[in-house]
Amino acid sequence: EETPSPIMDEDLRQRMGAVAVKAAQAVEYLNAGVQVVAVLDPDSATIVVSSQNDSPRRITGDEDLTLPEVFPEFRVPVRQFFE
């Protein structure tokens, strides 16, 4: 086994590290009592929504962001966040 992996370049390593940090931060917020955490990813134009009761879900530009746990009437097309 080689470390670092020869198939992962530095850019990929950096991006994976950044995703791991954001995921850990979302867990910290949820553990502190926040009901919903939404993390925008401008590189993929997606939003990852994490909540205390569900697994994280990725929402794409073709979908609407809804937060029924907090704001039942809230609905915004994801693409509007990246225009």
Per-residue pLDDT of the chain (83 residues; tens, 9 = 90+): 567 788 888 898 898 898 899 999 999 999 999 999 999 999 899 999 999 888 999 999 999 999 988 899 999 999 999 98
> Reduced to 3 states, what is the DSSP secondary structure of residue 23?
helix
Which two three-digit tokens encode residue 19? 């995703």
- Residue with tokens 């939003």, as numbered in its chain: 47
What is residue 38's predicted lDDT score, i.e. its pLDDT?
93
β-partners of residue 47 are 40, 59
Output DSSP code: residue 22: H
What is residue 1's predicted lDDT score, i.e. its pLDDT?
56
> Reduced to 3 states, what is the DSSP secondary structure of residue 82?
helix
